Structure 1
Amino acid sequence: MARSIRTTRSRWPAGAGSILAAVAVLAVTAAPAQATPAPRGTVQVSVGLNGAAPDDQSWSQGISADGRYALFTSWATNLVSQPAKSGRDAYVRDLRTGRTERINLADDGSVLDGFTDYVAINADGRYVAFESDAVNVVPGVQVQGRNEVYVRDRRTGRTELVSGGLTSTDTDKFHSSYAPSLSADGRYVAFVSSRTDLVPDLQGTDPSLARPYTWDYNIYVTDRRTGKTRLVTRGVDGKPGDSMSLNPTISADGRTIGFTSLAGNLLPPEPTPDPAAPAAGGTASADVELAPGAAAALPRGAQSGLSRPTTGVYYTYDVESGRIRAASLDLDGKLGYASFDATISPDGRRAIYALPEPGGSTNGHRYHTVLYVRDLRKGTVTKISGGLPGTASVGSSDHGRITADNRWVYFSSAADNLVVGPQHPGWDVYRHDLRTGRTERVATAPDGSLGNGSSIAPVVDARGGTVVFGSTSGNLLPGAGGPEHVDYQVFARTTGHHGDDDGDND
């Protein structure tokens, strides 16, 4: 993609909050165990060397299942001693020891000569998947200077190419792969790609299908153990999806993949929502107020398009059967278009998505988004961000992430009717208890007062003990009462583990 698109300092991060929390942490760890416990309360994750302030902005991306390793991306150049060669890099911070390491590195450990936007971490934090347009990631592998997906083993220090293709016959420089998601053990990697050489029956597909700014991207899943790749978005006609699919999330066991798609051939015609029916959750081109960073789920070139979509149908894919099912239903059972921040629970049982509702928004859009959770086994749908009884709001809610016990949903919202008491004037981070229906604010100052900036993009560990989020607030840390920051930085708050005594995993 064009380098000019990528170097805009203030543009939002791609795929913010890519996370896979597992029900249990794997026995193998990425680093020797430390006796030091994780700090309590709120701490800053994006910290410069020797405690210095970061010299640029950072964004929350993920967290290991035990809450120890926080994953984030940053433009800052003073987070580690090894100098950066490009703009955005990816980092893991050990919340117990305070150690930060750059993880988008070449196989020989050298710094990359390209950018990284999309990242994911597995359950125990050993593996981190990332995409990059660098040409020096794996020596001897020609990637045409385009974006590809890699996995870094933090224990061995090795980096491998995941989206390399069967024969590397696709030489179109505009084809790319991005947005990885990892299974709990790091074996399976789901990702988006416009390459034509990833599976056997697509060999020789016309490269012109994915020229710059097109929507022809599909979802794939690769087994790193066997090296085999499968096309996820295969239509009922046996062909790849006929339009863009994006934002895959793979379950902890690797058996379920959730994704958003604009393709019209994934299901028989009957279940497809009517694009002219906003009552069914809005339309793919509706004037919707999105959460900060939501548009970054699109490929980089597409983000600059004037007619880029804002919503799409959310689907789940069963790896064992190959079945695709539409997931983004509203309370009336109507299929709607969800924003691009939709995801699934670690066990693959629930889909979490935001649907547009008419009635305006805080910034003048015709629609705002409301968060839903659907139990894919029972078929029930719960509205998360509807607000306190007797109230209404035009503030959007999105970026929902759920704990492994399927009880707590963390999300971003600009709504002003979710909790009693003083209301935040902008975006803030909340958590909702699916058992009791109670919602509470998360990104607060030490005395419980409101943050004085905007807080977004929460990611949470398996048990809900630690949440990582981005914020411009200057009063979140003990003893810090400064004004709102210009740049977003990443923070972690220890909330305490939640019990799993509701028996809701049956």
Structure 2
Amino acid sequence: MIVTISLGAPSRPRPAALLPAWLLVLPLTVSALVGLPPAGAAPADGPARIALVAPRSAQAATVTVSPRRPMAGEQTTFSGRLSPRGRPVRLEVRAGSRWRTVARARVGAGSTYRLRARVMRTGTYRVAAAGFTSRQVRVATVAQGMSRTFDAPFVTGLPRVVTAVPTPRRAGRSVSVQRRSGATWTTVATRRTNASGVARVPVSGGAAGSRTWRVVARSFRGAPARATGGVVVRTATTTELLSVGQAAGKESFSPSVSADGRWVAFTSEAALLPSDEDALNDIYLFDRRTGALTHLLPQANSHVNNPHLSGDGRFVAFQTIASNLFGEGDYDYDVAVLDRTTGALDLVSTTSGGAPGNNDSYVHAISDDGRFVAFASTANDLVSSPPPNTSVRHPYLRDRRDDTSFGLDRTQSGWSTTGTFSMDLAGNGSRVVFTTTDTNLAPGNVDGSAIYATEIDANGTAYNRKNLTPGMQASRPHLNRTGELLVFTSTEDLAGDTNGQSDAYLRTAGGAYLLAAPAGPGKSIGEDISADGRYVVVSTESPQPGDTNGTDDDIVLWDTASATPHLLVTRGGPGSSSGAVLSADGRVVVFGSLAAITASAGGDYDVFATVLR
């Protein structure tokens, strides 16, 4: 930057006070000196021209724009460094061939400046001062957007969260959740976005039913508000009947729930939808988010039952004796998986040639990603070197990705000679467990029955079988997601139990045993465990506080982290409850019951869901 100063006549020197303040303090470097007399000599007639160069520290090589890509109308900051303090600066925007000033300020402490303006549209900006202009900066505005996720369904009396992400992301923006009543939108809750630009708004859904909701990101730094379109969100009661339909009156049972608690699959003898035209077992799927009920596999010409959902609810493992699904001619039970996204069916209990096994197979579990399926079978043609006969139910692991099956109870002399009657699979597919009375599968005493675990590596290979319950009678295994924790049922008096009944226990990762059954004289059965192992759900005959049906089985929940008393889930009249399963976070319990858990229950064995928090 070249600064040119004209000096007056010698007889009338210009007072220093008349020079600009910034020039007085600006360090100058002489680049050219023309006609300057020696010190003390009178200057020559006429003006002297002194060309002065501002040092590099006074030049703004760059301008910082924040936010870098503003919303149209958003107040935007242009900042940089320029000397000296107090120097006037201005922000200019190019308008055709001219520059228009849109903001003014002065250089502040530390030789820094800040200019603020609303950027209405994409344009070119620069910072200017006396004798100085910065480099030009192209500022592009971006359109607003909004993503939102409803923690649905809403539940009467329990808060739920609406997660909103206005884009571009800004911290501190006010976000409101609104509910429509007629033509009017009413704000029910408001929060501000956090440092990551995310707003989590707790909402109470109110009375049961479906209503239209939307999310509004309020105006922000001059940028206008942004509203999403309306979306219908269902509000459910804390406990609701899931086996609903036009013709209940028969039993529904064997529920399974997805990890997020949204999808519930179950078996029903009742024709709950018009597509069910027979009196056979069928599988239904209930969507707790929308309240919709779907009849799965209506084309099957015989029983389809015992569904098991993958973690995301996409895959449904089941067993069937239908002859028209896989060309099964002898009406044996087969195990298969339905891909609800594509509609494809995959036979699990298959020979190497792809044919159904030559005897019954029964499904027990599916991994969260749908890759592995644990099942038991009396077929003797599912693997090479098969078992010798079809009189023993053997445990198998099917790797659907690699199209391979593994027999899990092989011994040095061949196969186990006793049957398997319960199995489970870790959600992440790292471990499979099964119950057997065989005494030759691994070291450790087998007192009646024992639970064996087999590890599964990333290639799908099963290895390192071991006895998890040596010296005790144990059954009904349930693993948490990682397979480190095991819930089981035993008649042994472990961990201080003295009632002489079957009780539920938790085996820790270190091999210790904790009592998971509520206090009382009745038997208790371990039903399921949450993904992180914190919650255990149990059915028990021991009467609990608030229990009005005596020794009929009830569902209770145990919080292992806080060691709180068992929470009674089922509060109904006479009738037992069982078959409980948990969502991954332990918030939703799904179970079957003969009790009149809700007013809409029909008196038969029905499937219910209870939201705990």
Query: How does the TM-score come out when normalised to structure 2?
Result: 0.57
Match of 1:46 in 2: 243
Structure 1: 4+ residue segments shifted above 6 A:
168-171, 420-423
Higher relative CO (CA 8 A, sep ≥ 6), structure 1 or 2?
1
Question: How far apart are 1:189 and its partner, in Å?
Answer: 1.0
CA distance in structure 1 between the aligned counterparts of 2:446 and 2:527, rounded to whole angstroms: 23
Aligned partner of 2:569 in structure 1 is 443
CA separation of 1:473/1:86 partners in 2, compared to 1, >3 Å: closer, same or farther?
closer
TM-superposed CA distance for 1:179, in Å, is 2.1
Higher relative strand content: 2
1:233 aligned to 2:409? yes
CA separation of 1:171/1:420 partners in 2, compared to 1, >3 Å: closer, same or farther?
Answer: closer
SS of corresponding position for 2:502: strand
Does the 8 Å contact 1:169/1:197 carry over to 2?
no
Q: 1:246 aligned to 394, 415, 421, which one? A: 421
1:189 aligns with 2:373: yes
Distance 1:265 1:473 in 2: 43
Shift of 1:486: 4.1
Distance 1:35 1:243, change over 3 A: farther
Aligned twin of 2:467: 326
For the 8 Å contact 2:423–2:432, the answer to whether it is kept is: yes
Check conservation: 2:526, 2:536, Cα contact below 8 A: no
Give the CA deviation at 1:357.
4.6
Give the aligned partner of residue 490 of structure 2: 355
Among 366, 371, 374, the residue aligned to 2:507: 374
Give yes or no for contact 2:552–2:574 (8 Å, CA) kept in 1: no
Contact 2:250 2:604 in 1 (8 A): yes
Cα 1:186/1:451, change in 2 over 3 Å: same
- Counterpart for residue 384 of structure 1: 516
Read off the aligned partner of 1:383 and give its amino acid letter.
L
Is the Cα–Cα contact under 8 Å of residues 176 and 194 in structure 1 kept in the other structure? Answer: yes
Aligned counterpart, 1:304? none
Matching residue of 2:471:
335
What's the CA shift string for 1:33-89, capped at 9, x where partnerless? x8625624011000013xxx6121111421000000111111101x12202335211
Q: Which amino acid aligns with 2:352?
A: L
AA aligned opposite 1:190: A
Q: Is the CA contact 1:473–1:485 (under 8 Å) kept in the aligned structure 2?
A: no
Pick closer, same or farther for the CA change 1:386–1:399 going to 2, 3 Å: closer
State the match for 2:277 in structure 1.
Answer: 84
1:434-475 Cα offsets, whole Å, 9 max, x none, are 123223343344xxxx5443222211100011111112222x
Contact residue 170 and residue 197 of structure 1 kept, 8 A: no
AA at the equivalent of 1:155: T
> What secondary structure does 1:322 align onto?
strand
Q: Secondary structure at the match of 1:123?
A: coil
2-structure distance, mates of 1:429, 1:491: 12
Shift of residue 135, structure 1, vs aligned partner: 0.7
After superposition, give the CA deviation of every residue in 1:122-176 in whole Å (9 maximum; x if it has no partner): 00111101111111013xx34532111011111112222111111368875xx21
User: What is the aligned length?
Assistant: 374
The alignment status of 1:344 with 2:479, answered yes or no, reads: yes
1:169-224: CA deviation from partner (whole Å, max 9, x where unpaired):
8875xx2111231110101111111222222222xx54xx22xxx4x111111111
- 1:370-449 matches, within 5 Å, as 370-375=503-508, 377-385=509-517, 387=519, 392-393=520-521, 395-416=522-543, 419=545, 424-445=550-571
Residues 431/144 of structure 1: CA separation in 2 closer, same or farther (3 Å cut): same
Consecutive unaligned residues of structure 1, counting only runs of 5 or more, are 1-33, 275-283, 285-311, 329-333, 359-365, 497-506
- Contact in 2 for aligned 1:443/1:455 (Cα 8 Å): no
SS class of match (1:493) = strand
Percent same amino acid among aligned pairs?
A: 28
Gaps of 5+ in 2: 1-230, 494-498
Distance 1:396 1:64, change over 3 A: same
Q: Which amino acid aligns with 1:438?
A: T
For residues 169 and 456 of structure 1, the distance between their equivalents in structure 2, rounded to whole angstroms, comes to 35
Q: Aligned to 1:465, which of 587, 607, 613?
A: 587
Please report how far the alpha carbon of residue 353 of structure 1 lies from its aligned counterpart in structure 2 after TM superposition. 0.7
SS of equivalent to 2:313: coil
Q: Deviations over 1:395-437 (max 9, x none)?
A: 1111421111211111100013x55887743110000111232
Instruction: Tell me the amino acid that sits aligned with residue 256 of structure 2.
Output: G
TM alignment of 1:85-164, pairs within 5 A: 85-103=278-296, 105=297, 110-138=298-326, 141-164=327-350
Q: Which residue of 1 aligns with 2:260?
A: 66
Letter in 2 for 1:273: V
Structure 1 residue 314 and structure 2 residue 451: aligned? Answer: yes
* Residues 38 and 131 (structure 1), Cα distance of their counterparts in 2 relative to 1, 3 Å cut: farther
Q: TM-score normalised to the size of structure 1?
A: 0.69
Q: Say if 1:38 and 1:95, in contact at 8 Å, map to a contact too.
A: no
